[in-house]
Amino acid sequence: MLKKAEYDNKDPHMCLLEYRATPIDSNLPSPAKLLFNRDINSLLPKFNIADRVSPIVEHLSYRQAKQKNYFDLRTKELCKLLVKGENVRVQKENKTCEPGKIVDLSNKPRTYVVKLENGSVLERNRKYLIRDSKTKKPPPVTITNTPDSRPKRSIQYPKKCNEFVSYRN
For 76-107, write each residue's pLDDT tens digit: 777 678 888 889 999 888 888 899 999 998 88
The type of residue at 93 is: E
Q: What is the pLDDT of residues 128-139, one digit of tens each?
A: 898 887 655 556
Contact 114, 129 (CB under 8 A): yes
pLDDT of residue 148: 62
**Residue 87, number of CB atoms within 10 A of its CB:** 14
pLDDT of residue 18: 87
Q: Is 5 helix (H, G, I), strand (E, B) or coil?
A: helix
**Separation CA 13–CA 5 (nearest Å):** 9
SS3 sequence of the chain: CHHHHHHCCCCHHHHHHHHHHCCCECCECCHHHHHHCCCCCCCCCCCCCCCCHHHHHHHHHHHHHHHHHHHHHCCCCCCCCCCCCCEEEEECCCCCEEEEEEEEECCCCCEEEEEECCCCEEEEEHHHEEECCCCCCCCCCCCCCCCCCCCCCCCCCCHHHHHCCCCCC
Instruction: Please state the domain extents for the chain.
Output: 2-73, 87-131
CATH code for the structural domain at 87-131 = 2.30.30.140
Strand 129-131 relative to strand 111-116, pairing? unpaired
The yes-or-no verdict on residue 67 having pLDDT over 80 is yes
Confidence of residue 73 (pLDDT cuts 50, 70, 90): very high
Confidence of residue 58 (pLDDT cuts 50, 70, 90): confident
Instruction: Calculate the average pLDDT of the chain.
Output: 81
**Separation CA 78–CA 104 (nearest Å):** 19
pTM of the prediction?
Answer: 0.41
The yes-or-no verdict on residue 110 having pLDDT over 70 is yes
